[in-house]
């Protein structure tokens, strides 16, 4: 097994934001619509949605899907 | 069986139907179910077209397939919609996940976990320029060495596999399918692994500050995202 310095740095960065309790990708799917709507309309993100923000900082796939969702919602909004 | 307001007939029935939610209208016995499905499919397709423009552009036959697959998934999971945000936002989130699962599976089609384990770390150049003092550099080097050691000693084989594959940009669905599990379990292995490493490092006397002298989140996002975009296999 071979972990480069840069990858070890990434692991450290991940540890920095690791929490005991985190949303998983499926749980995120249930609330990401609400989160995206609030973000797009400039509304504040309340406590119940904060774990969404945290998960997006850890999970590239959900982050990528969230960006795509925002594009879709903006487009549909502009219909 | 649910009784729908159309059974009331006349203006009262029509008015009540107008108040029905997407969830109601997509329900198995609703008189407008077919119309609702057609409407929703059109919204999903439109959302897919705008979200998959750019580097993930798909041809329209593919988009139709993805929308159909997503629609089935949405209908199957109708009862899980919790009313958090609009129904169409929830449905689009599911659709986009279906789409990306498809795209990622095609992209990572020929890459095995074993191959990634052999390649791990090789594809990324080491940082060579540093503006920090020799002491800070030495401490940083120590902490990186410790991270490497802890990965070997404090993680299970499955946790190591998930971590290494993720560090080399392999998406969770692909890791899951190669490990014979699902994305949720992969996330759990990733999460449990991180918690184990965090505990192990703190137990070895690394305080939060010493351990977490790493680049700020911006740098982390950049390098992590770059690894993901480039993958480990191009
Ligand atoms: Zn995720």
pLDDT one-digit tens code per residue, B81-117: 999 999 999 999 999 999 999 999 998 888 888 887 7
Closest Cβ–Cβ partner in A1, A60, A65 for B97: A65
Q: Using one digit for the tens of pLDDT, what is the confidence trace for B175-209? A: 999 999 999 999 999 999 999 999 998 888 776 66
Residues B98 and B126 in one domain: no
Q: Which residues of A touch B84 (CB under 8 A)?
A: 30-31, 33-34
Please report, for the domain that includes residue B88, its CATH number.
1.10.1740.10
Distance from the alpha carbon of residue B182 to the mean position of ligand 1, in angstroms: 12
Chain A residue with CA closest to B202: the answer is A15
Mutate to test the interface with B, among A19, A31, A37, A61 (most CBs of B within 10 A): A61
Residues B119 and B94 in one domain: no
Query: Residue B91 belongs to what domain range?
Result: 5-107
Please state the ipTM of this predicted complex.
0.94
**pLDDT at B53 (0 to 100):** 78
Q: Show which of B89, B107, B125 is a domain's final residue.
A: B107
Residues with a beta carbon under 5 angstroms from ion ligand 1:
A 25, 59, 62
Count of domains forming chain B: 2
The answer to whether the CB atoms of A3 and B121 lie below 8 A apart is yes
CB B84 within 8 A of CB A31: yes
Distance between start and end Cα atoms, chain A:
51
Rounded to two decimals, what is the model's pTM? Answer: 0.82
Inter-chain CB pairs, A–B, below 8 Å: 178
């Amino acid at each position: 097994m071979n972990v480069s310095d840069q990858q070890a740095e990434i692991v450290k960065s991940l540890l920095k934001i690791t929490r005991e309790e985190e949303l998983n990708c499926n749980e995120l799917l249930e609330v990401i619509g609400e989160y995206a709507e609030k973000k797009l309309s400039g509304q504040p993100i309340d406590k119940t949605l904060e774990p969404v923000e945290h998960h997006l900082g850890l999970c590239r796939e959900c982050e990528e899907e969230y960006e795509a969702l925002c594009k879709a919602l903006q487009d549909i909004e502009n219909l | 069986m649910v009784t729908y307001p159309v059974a009331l007939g006349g203006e009262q029935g029509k008015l009540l139907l107008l108040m029905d939610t997407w969830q109601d209208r997509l329900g198995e016995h609703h008189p407008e179910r077919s119309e609702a499905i057609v409407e929703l499919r059109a919204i999903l397709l439109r959302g897919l077209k705008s979200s998959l423009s750019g580097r993930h552009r798909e041809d329209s036959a593919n988009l139709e397939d993805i929308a159909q697959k997503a629609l089935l998934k949405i209908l199957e999971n109708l009862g899980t919609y919790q009313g958090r945000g609009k129904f169409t936002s929830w449905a689009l989130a599911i659709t986009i996940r279906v789409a990306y699962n498809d795209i990622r599976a095609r992209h990572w089609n020929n890459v095995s976990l074993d191959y990634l384990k052999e390649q791990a770390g090789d594809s990324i150049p080491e940082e060579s320029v540093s503006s920090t003092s020799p002491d800070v550099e030495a401490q940083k080097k120590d902490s990186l060495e410790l991270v490497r050691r802890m990965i070997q000693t404090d993680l299970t084989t499955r946790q190591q596999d998930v971590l290494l594959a993720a560090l080399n940009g392999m998406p969770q669905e692909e890791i899951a399918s190669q490990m014979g599990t699902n994305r949720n379990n992969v996330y759990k292995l990733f999460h449990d692994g991180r918690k184990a490493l965090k505990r192990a490092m703190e137990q070895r006397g690394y305080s939060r500050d010493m351990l977490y002298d790493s680049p700020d989140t911006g740098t982390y996002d950049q390098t992590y995202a770059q690894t993901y975009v480039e993958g480990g296999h191009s």
